Amino acid sequence: MKIYPRTEKYDPAWISENWMGPNPLWLLEDLCEHLELKPGMKVLDMGCGKGITSVFLAKEYGATVFANDLWVSATDNLRRFEEAGVADKVFPIHAEAHALPYADGFFDAAISIDSYEYYGADELYFPCTYSKLVKPGGQFGIVVPGLVKEYDSGCPDTLKDLWVGEMFSFHSKDWWRRLWEKTGLVEITSCYDMDDPKEIWWPWAKWAKENFSKEWGDGGDFDERFLNADTNNEVALVVMSAVKK
């Protein structure tokens, strides 16, 4: 599997205490190869979860980060940012994706790691909400769990017994590209499937089986069952970046 040198600087125990899906720092580091982030830029980390991607953006790029999440409280995230020594650069915000408190054009960049699929697969979300957050020339980046292609039934046959609710927003890279490109608001700068998606996903799946229930209730073995069922390797991790016109 690809080496992520920036992520290697971070304590694996800290990452797994705070991840909420496949290693968010690996996903972000891959995405950042297609972004140009500079010190002082204002970056929205949308759906930051427990905020480790926000810490990474502040430490690695000197960005000023608005760490926006719904399920995780801003107070808990503030404590984590203080412990990581970045509370002067990372601001925790509790807000729902359709009711964000930011001015239009406020951000230099907006990124979202394993979160945009929860609200952004809606046709209206990008043109009516998300695109407005960033200034002209500003950047967008997402990494989402997805599929290697589109399926008439919505999912691969191997996964149909496990396909529930929010997974209907898992799509192919071409589907995501079209969703943004057709708005005419952005130039797509990258759109691809990460290499070895299941190798990236497995450490989280194994961790979740042991630990998920302590905080989040039942379902900790779901990702393991999901990855094992994907015998034709049709699961993907899609990276997409864009620049606002």
57 Rama class: left (phi>0) / alpha (psi -120 to 50) / beta: alpha
Q: Report the greatest alpha carbon distance in the chain.
A: 49
Residue number, nearest CB to ligand SAM: 49
Alpha-helical runs (H) found in the chain: 12-18, 24-32, 52-61, 74-83, 125-128, 173-181, 197-216, 222-229
Structure tokens at 81: 């940012």
Report in angstroms how near the CB of residue 107 gets to ligand SAM at its nearest: 15
Report in angstroms how near the CB of residue 80 gets to ligand SAM at its nearest: 12
Our CB check for ligand SAM shows the closer of 70 and 167 to be 70
Distance CA 245, CA 51 (A): 29
Report in angstroms how near the CB of residue 56 gets to ligand SAM at its nearest: 11
Report in angstroms how near the CB of residue 152 gets to ligand SAM at its nearest: 27
Our CB check for ligand SAM shows the closer of 64 and 112 to be 112
Distance CA 2, CA 26 (A): 9
Our CB check for ligand SAM shows the closer of 30 and 69 to be 69
Judged by the rule CB under 6 A, the positions of this chain that interact with ligand SAM are 19-21, 24, 47-49, 53, 69-72, 96-97, 113-115, 118-119
Our CB check for ligand SAM shows the closer of 186 and 200 to be 200
